[in-house]
Structure 1
């Protein structure tokens, strides 16, 4: 860099003032001889001012560069919808930083669930308790105790009057969510009960267990009415379609199965994952067209296909699954084909959830990230890195008041606003 004569004179004067202020006497004399510069009161503190201003400018440049990168990511990956229009509330995506960090559990979080009506969230933990929170304010409400081992999963009936919980203590408990009393304890599984889900009608629930079975229960009596067998290992999760026509399950045996709930028969088995299948989710009815799907019609609606044995499986649409093989797969249930494989997570995929708008899929992983996938494009369009300080184990979506909740091995729950 070439300095002008005036800039050199100013710099030499500033250096000389700095040497004099610092008490470097011998250096001052030598510097004077070589530069023929004399001390000037006007140069007092000039070097320090210049130096600190450069540091401030460097920090400002770095901040601006980070902001530009963030804006470019939002622009390219979902900050704007097609045609340059901004997203509306119906397809808003989670954005950092988190709105609330909820602390109080003494062990990792296994499940989080929004109440279908109130601004409440319930968390289930390895510490054998469930906690109720107001997710709007971030305030703790109460602790529910009753299980004697890790609480693995929780679910509400459609009105939110009753809550079900399941545990490594081999039981399922039904709770009155108005009085917070435990109404019934359901016994029948022979091992860790890993998942529980109400049917949309609210009068039945299904559960899955490490004992390799899926059980159907009558909510009013607490009796097991059906046991579904077919998996060869721990059944990690079970979910119910919106119309209750079928359920789906995933397992340590690396397969996904769909079932006719009325007949108790396995409809189909999907086998493309190469490790434990941790999680799964049915698509909403308004899901966008998926590339390669045979179900789409010109009017954008799905056809109902007849599967083996005359079972109607097209009503369930599509299924997303996440695995310890670090991938997410999208399946066409009527044909049994894998339509897409999403690659991007660097560790186990622990939870997947379709966005209610039907355009996106959300996932969380042991790589500590939350990812958003564009279903039509088949790619990740947004990543929230270091969303938790440890593995992220669970995810839920609040439809009525758009937020998502995540829970982790770091013992905390985080609430994320959508925008």
Structure 2
């Protein structure tokens, strides 16, 4: 099989197919109408869209059991990956972009050689719908979450399941590794978010506050986000629970210290650890209760509650510059949140049906969204 147009497989000339960097991106670039492209081809709702980490392509997953590859610069369709026999729930690239992982309601996890568009491994072990997958930052391991109430860790080279994490009492909707790969965050139909030690498999913290299914969780990975979360609320809105100011902290050192504390024996349940420091100790969650919450993992405290969506919140992604958060929801909109001022900065009427997924390109000012209306839309940011 041929690789996608615009995608440079191993051995290609340096820079071939690379998205432009830096000079085209501003700190306040957000998606604005009209959509640059509306892409059709899926025959069922779109469940996930993800940009390639290095090249000008992205993939979409759908309930039609397929994964499609698209060029986001031109809007051209490139290829369809087939192999799953039921709805594809999630997809993710490894750091190199050479491997793609997918999971499905068919209870399987599949590894794909993205340079050849070939399935190279099928990982079996879950007993129910597999909802979420992600590579650890090293690329050597991946994790999957399932309706069977477990999280599994798999070795990429062998395809073996090396660890199973148990603790949630209902369907696990999402699992995501921390930026340093030492922790996992998961969320569930049991209304909770759990933080796990990758090394020990123990649940370090349980975050409670949502009043319905928690659909998505994402780690804070940018120091600007930490500063925005902990800055005084100047707008008087947005529902922040605390305005403690830790803007003078050394975020790089605090990540290491926080990870060390957890690896050395963090209390379980809802007990708290030290004080709120460290980029790796903040997560955001979105729920069917229509709210978005930002949490200090080290204390278990909810710092900010963002209210505005009129239906289930499906997915969250941080702006590359760290000061904004984007959310997709079943009210058919994408919202852009100003974290410092705890307010909705922009509401984008994105689709004619529920918006199930979105992603922000880290190298170029571009957002993609997917919907139950079976379409994908590409939005320029300015």
Decide which of 195, 198, 218 is 1:281's aligned counterpart: 218
Displacement of 1:89: 1.8
Aligned to 1:232: 169
For the residues of structure 1 that align with 2:245 and 2:109, how far apart are their CA atoms?
Answer: 38
The answer as to 2:314 corresponding to 1:350 is: yes
- Residue 295 of structure 1: how far off its partner (Å): 7.5
35, 43, 48: which one aligns with 1:98? 35
CA shift, 1:162, in A, is 0.4
Give the deviation of 1:254 after TM superposition: 0.3
* Structure 1 unpaired stretches of 5+: 1-86
Contact 1:111-1:124 within 8 A present in 2 as well: yes
**1:290 Cα deviation after fit:** 1.7
Distance 2:286 2:264 in 1: 28
1:380 aligned partner:
344
How far has the Cα of 1:298 moved from its partner?
Answer: 2.3
Contact 1:245 1:315 in 2 (8 A): no
Matches within 5 A, 1:257-272: 257-272=194-209
Query: Does structure 1 residue 213 correspond to structure 2 residue 150?
Result: yes
2:133 corresponds to 1:169: no
The match for 2:90 among 153, 176, 186 is 153
Structure 2 residues without counterparts, runs of 5 or longer: 1-23, 231-241, 267-272
Structure 1 residues 353 and 416, CA gap change in structure 2 (3 angstroms): same
Q: 1:41 corresponds to which residue?
A: none
Per-residue deviation, residues 142-175 of structure 1 (Å, max 9, x unmatched): 1110000000000000010000000000000000
CA spacing shift, 1:294–1:260, aligned 2, 3 Å: farther
State yes or no: 1:408 paired with 2:371. yes
Change (3 A) 1:148 1:88: closer
Q: Higher strand fraction: Structure 1 or Structure 2?
A: 2
- Cα RMSD over matched residues? 1.8
In structure 2, the partner of 1:89 is 26
Distance 2:121 2:337 in 1: 40
* 1:4-403 → structure 2 map (5 Å cutoff): 89-286=26-223, 287=225, 288-291=227-230, 292=242, 296-298=246-248, 301=251, 303=254, 304-305=257-258, 306=261, 310-311=265-266, 314-385=278-349, 387-403=350-366
Separation in 2 of the partners of 1:240 and 1:179?
Answer: 27
Equivalent position of 1:32 in the other structure: none
Report the Cα distance in structure 2 between the residues aligned to 1:121 and 1:378, rounded to whole angstroms: 31
Q: Distance in 2 between matches of 1:298 and 1:410?
A: 46
TM-score (norm 1): 0.76
Asked if the contact 2:29/2:381 (under 8 Å) is kept, the reply is yes
Between the aligned partners of 2:280 and 2:245, the Cα distance in structure 1 is 11
Match of 2:3 in 1: none
Instruction: Tell me the secondary structure at the aligned position of residue 229 of structure 2.
Output: coil
Q: CA 1:295–1:147 in structure 2 vs 1: closer, same or farther (change >3 Å)?
A: farther
1:58 counterpart residue number: none
Other-structure match for 1:417: 380
Alpha-carbon shift at residue 261 of structure 1 (Å): 0.4
Task: Give SS of 2:186's match.
Answer: strand
Kindly provide the CA deviation profile for residues 264-320 of structure 1, in whole angstroms up to 9, marking residues without a partner as x. Answer: 110100110000000111112322332436572525747444469644884513111
SS in 2 for 1:289: helix
Q: Is the 8 A contact 1:245 1:316 kept in 2?
A: no
Report deviation, 1:88. Answer: 6.0
Kept in 1: contact 2:200–2:263 (CA 8 A): no
Distance 2:99 2:251 in 1: 34
